[in-house]
Chains A and B, each alone.
Chain A
Amino acid sequence: MKQFKLLTVLFLVAVLTYSCAEDDSPQLPKGDYEKGYFITNEGPFQNGSGTISFVDETGNVAQSIFKSVNHKDLGSVVQSMALHDDFAYIVVNNFHKVEVANRYTMKSIATIEGDDIKNPRHFVAIGNTGYISNWGDAGDATDDYIAVVDLATNTVTKKIPVGEGPEDMLVDGNKIYVNLQGGWSQNNKVVVIDTSSNTVASTLEVGDVPNSIVKDASGTIWVLCGGKPSFSGTETNGKLAQIENETVTMLDFGTAKHPNHLTLDGSNLYYDLNGKVFAMSTTATELPTAEVSGLDGSYYSLKANDGKLYATNAGDFQSEGSLKVYDLSDNSLKETVVTGLIPGSVVFQ
């Protein structure tokens, strides 16, 4: 049996080498998931598994693609996914691991796990180095860190301690901006990591609960801060922070306003607030007062891409969610897609 497998592999290698050698042969498809976008579905908190859905160019939806390719579950709570080089990095929060798969075929390649991956949240990469935000023990405010990963071996080489609740990250040249959202609690910082030394270069104070981060074409970094919720006992206003050369200026949303899900399309920022979606130009100096009509909804995530807005809804959290795709030129609904349980993000190939 082993010999047979070996022969098959040798045969495939031979075929592939041969096809690569033929310069003028047509480009082979890289895999079933080369063109389209992914939806990460968190799945039930404990008693189940998160999944990945895929929507191809023609709008066909395939559910649970990681499982159908690899015949294994991803694990509990698929928090996020990032694409880098030929790979998809799928962050599985409650299983304390990051699955590495081929981004075109979803074939599982490696797992980044072990004692140095604890409550992972998000993944970003620069060249051959990956960065994973980790809460550590969710109940411990002082053990949060960014795991630095050698992507050649998929092992953690360093842990950079940061404040409580590192969440979304953004790559800006050789720096990484990390939102310290606060985990189960609330925080109000953005940490800047210098990736040449893999140390914290500076810590910026923003509004409470920085929940999303984007960079516009001019290089300005925008951080949306939800503000502390009323149940925290000390409710604070949501704020939109603008970071230029590590200098922070902020716009205030006003009392009891808690915006979320900042995303960028061209020169327009989009976010949601109280079931409505707002748009703001990156050159504007004030927050918009009126929502964009036609985009209302209770969304679990928002992502703008190429003139369209992808908005997920988790429904009752106990059944399939949905994704709505709006055309931002006229704010019309283009498509509604059934997703897996608790669709948490949309990722474009």
Chain B
Amino acid sequence: MKYIIGFFFIGAITFAQTDTIHLLDEVKLYGNFSPQINSGYQVQILSDSIINNHQQSLGNLLQNQANLYFKQNGNRMVSSISLRGSGASHTGVYWNGIAINSSLDGQTDFNTFSANGYNQIEIRKGGGGILFGSGAVGGAINLRDKIIFKDKFQTQINLGLASYDTQKGLVRSQYSNQKIYAKIVVEGNKSANDYPYLGTDIVNENGAFKNYHIKSVLGYKINQNNQLQFFATLSDNDRNLSRTLTSPSNSKLTNWQNRVLLNWKNFGQAYNSSLKVAYLDEEYNYYSNKESSDYTFGKSKNIILKYDFKYFISSHISLHSGIENKYSTANGSSLLDKYRNDFEAYALLHQNPIEKLQYNISVRKGFSSVYKIPLIYAADLKYQLSSGLNIKANFSTNYRLPTYNDLFWNPGGNPDLLAENSKSGELGLGYYQNKLSINLTSYITKSKNLIQWRPETPTYWKPINIQDVMSYGLEFEFKTQQNFGKHMLELQSQYAYTVSKDNVLDKQLIYVPYHKATASLNYTYKDFTVNFNEQYNGKVFTTTSNTQTVNAYWLTNLEIYKSFLKQQLTVGVLVNNLFNTAYQSVSYRPMPNRNFEFNINYKF
């Protein structure tokens, strides 16, 4: 508690200063995450400098920087998100605008994704079914590579050595001129991950992992009106699945993902369009005994064709529309060989009739070879109450389609499943000044027909459309930056209060914390930076009867960086879990004790 009070205290002091500075949000958005067509929503941007100052998993980055809650099965093990009290498959994850949640289980394991190499990560909270399709109920996260045609040739090498025999290496090279853009990022991580469980004599046995990721981006400016973009990523994760306090483990999980995307952008006087073709390939192998050659697997291949068209009728009215077709196949040890085809179309009308007001109304409808996709609609608005003070509101209906596992798992898979559906409303107040921003948002979501696996007999389970959930909450965001000569101080803090209840049981869902807060204090003096990050994770229930919990915890991370040679060389020391707190994300799975990382970043 004392740390948080400290932060708000420091915040209050900085708030009292009245120098003129500007906040970091100058980055321009585009596409379906653009603020223009998300008038009534909160969109948070993580910039290149935050993403890439050291190597970390996407899950760790979002947990530290965006106050998002993750349920981690132990350090670097399977990590799933719960955004606004929603389930693990209710946050849409996008890669340059293409949905990449697994076709098998509808989720993203945030520890198999590297955050590094992206230029920007966009987080849009709230229902986003119209623009983002199935699964964007709690929110949507986009990993974005930005292609900018200007003369630049830079290579960056990042090396990290950390506790538990952890080694990290990354090379990022970018070449661009007025016509061509090329970027390649190659990254590898390896760790024994054998940290001690505080307060016991057990260490995190069987926790070793290694992974590598290759990302490449190519851009070609054909002319003023046409651009070709190509994106590809390959990622290979090999993890032993660590033990728990009460059971040893000898199992292993490997995940392999390959994604390719070709995008043709065409701009006209009053329109712009984008035609995307993407191929996504995913596979996992699970070894119940890592020494055995026996494993179970699942894999899917997806071909996505997506066309977005934006037409600017006047300077005040624009029409945004798109169609998307996804063809996918899947098979696996417990999956029958199946395919499905989903076609969806959306339209959105944007208008700002007066300077102070902008709004959007939108609709989406889909057709599938396997189930019925509901018609959904939404409206949102932003109204400027006075200078620096605005009000945002939105209403949306959303859905999530059953996944391959839900439909075709053997045993239990239920081909008669319906799409889940939900309704969301949100009201927010924002205050912006050049040195300060404050946001306060409240929301409510009612979800129906949520798919749950229930025991059909004691021997096998079957998914059914059964659960109704009501979620509501408050989010608070505070951000300020102050300069004192060459000293710069930045403070960001976020707090979320989340209630998410099963309507039948009238109990909070398991692994949804009522309280979650993050505060980050960044101090910069010339070539020297100190970042102090504090997190609070409220208690979560582990039984649906809310009788058992994982305790709340505070977590403090400290990062210190010093640059040399005109910023070319940066040396960093990171201390995670500074106060050596014993904590768990999932019950009986202790997380690491105090640990260190030494990091060198060299650019030329």
Point out residues on A near B: beta carbons under 8 Å: 43-44, 46-49, 73-77, 94-96, 137-140, 226, 229-231, 258, 260, 298-300, 314, 316-320, 341
Complex formed: what's the CA distance from A139 to B252 in Å? 13
Given contacts A138-B288, A140-B294, A231-B412, contact A46 B244 (CB under 8 A): yes
Given contacts A139-B289, A230-B411, contact A319 B247 (CB under 8 A): no
Given contacts A320-B547, A341-B543, contact A258 B288 (CB under 8 A): no
Given contacts A75-B246, A95-B246, contact A139 B588 (CB under 8 A): no
Q: Is the C-beta of B510 less than 8 angstroms from some C-beta in chain A?
A: yes
Other than A46-B247, A229-B459, give 20 A-B pairs with Cβ distance below 8 A.
Answer: A43-B246, A44-B542, A44-B587, A47-B588, A48-B548, A48-B588, A76-B247, A76-B588, A94-B247, A137-B292, A138-B288, A139-B292, A140-B294, A226-B459, A229-B460, A230-B411, A314-B455, A314-B458, A316-B455, A318-B510
Complex formed: what's the CA distance from A288 to B455 in Å? 26
Contact yes or no, A139 B294, CB < 8 A: yes
**B542 to chain A: which residues have CB within 8 Å?**
44, 47-48
Q: Is the C-beta of B363 less than 8 angstroms from some C-beta in chain A?
A: no
Contact yes or no, B589 A47, CB < 8 A: yes
Which of B249, B411, B588 has most A Cβ within 10 Å? B588
Contact yes or no, B460 A231, CB < 8 A: yes
Within 8 A of A (CB), among B273-299: 288-289, 292, 294
Given contacts A140-B292, A140-B294, contact A318 B543 (CB under 8 A): yes
Which of B246, B249, B542, B544 has most A Cβ within 10 Å? B246
Contact yes or no, B411 A229, CB < 8 A: yes
Show 8 residue pairs from A and B whose CB-CB distance is below 8 angstroms, ordered by the A residue.
Answer: A43-B246, A73-B245, A76-B247, A76-B588, A139-B289, A139-B292, A231-B412, A298-B455
Q: Is the C-beta of B457 less than 8 angstroms from some C-beta in chain A?
A: yes
Contact yes or no, B246 A49, CB < 8 A: yes
Given contacts A47-B587, A320-B547, contact A260 B411 (CB under 8 A): no
Q: Which 5 A-B pairs have the closest CB atoms?
A: A231-B411, A76-B247, A319-B545, A319-B544, A319-B543
Complex formed: what's the CA distance from A40 to B543 in Å? 18
Q: Is the C-beta of B586 less than 8 angstroms from some C-beta in chain A?
A: yes
Q: Is the C-beta of B390 less than 8 angstroms from some C-beta in chain A?
A: no
**A319 to chain B: which residues have CB within 8 Å?**
543-545, 547
Kindly provide the distance from the CB of B291 to the nearest chain A CB, expressed in whole angstroms.
9
Contact yes or no, B247 A95, CB < 8 A: yes
Within 8 A of A (CB), among B361-414: 410-412
Given contacts A47-B586, A137-B289, A319-B547, contact A76 B294 (CB under 8 A): no
Kindly provide the distance from the CB of A114 to the nearest chain B CB, expressed in whole angstroms.
12
Chain B 163-201 near chain A by CB (<8 Å), digits 1 or 0? 000000000000000000000000000000000000000
Kindly provide the distance from the CB of B203 to the nearest chain A CB, expressed in whole angstroms.
16
**B544 to chain A: which residues have CB within 8 Å?**
316, 318-319
Closest to A43 in B: B246
**B589 to chain A: which residues have CB within 8 Å?**
47
Q: Is the C-beta of B487 less than 8 angstroms from some C-beta in chain A?
A: no
Complex formed: what's the CA distance from A138 to B288 in Å? 8
Kindly provide the distance from the CB of B465 to the nearest chain A CB, expressed in whole angstroms.
16
Which of A47, A76, A96, A139 has most B Cβ within 10 Å? A47
Complex formed: what's the CA distance from A329 to B215 in Å? 72
Chain B 524-554 near chain A by CB (<8 Å), digits 1 or 0? 0000000000000000001111011000000
Contact yes or no, A76 B460, CB < 8 A: no
Kindly provide the distance from the CB of A210 to the nearest chain B CB, expressed in whole angstroms.
14
Which of A75, A226, A258, A319 has most B Cβ within 10 Å? A319
Kindly provide the distance from the CB of A337 to the nearest chain B CB, expressed in whole angstroms.
15
**B268 to chain A: which residues have CB within 8 Å?**
none
Closest to A317 in B: B455
Kindly provide the distance from the CB of A139 to the nearest chain B CB, expressed in whole angstroms.
5
**A46 to chain B: which residues have CB within 8 Å?**
244, 247, 249, 588
Given contacts A46-B247, A137-B289, A137-B292, contact A320 B411 (CB under 8 A): no
Complex formed: what's the CA distance from A140 to B244 in Å? 23
**B454 to chain A: which residues have CB within 8 Å?**
316
Complex formed: what's the CA distance from A48 to B410 in Å? 27
Complex formed: what's the CA distance from A74 to B247 in Å? 10
Q: Which of A73, A76, A96, A300 contacts B458 (CB 8 A)?
A: A300
Q: Is the C-beta of B353 less than 8 angstroms from some C-beta in chain A?
A: no
Kindly provide the distance from the CB of B249 to the nearest chain A CB, expressed in whole angstroms.
8
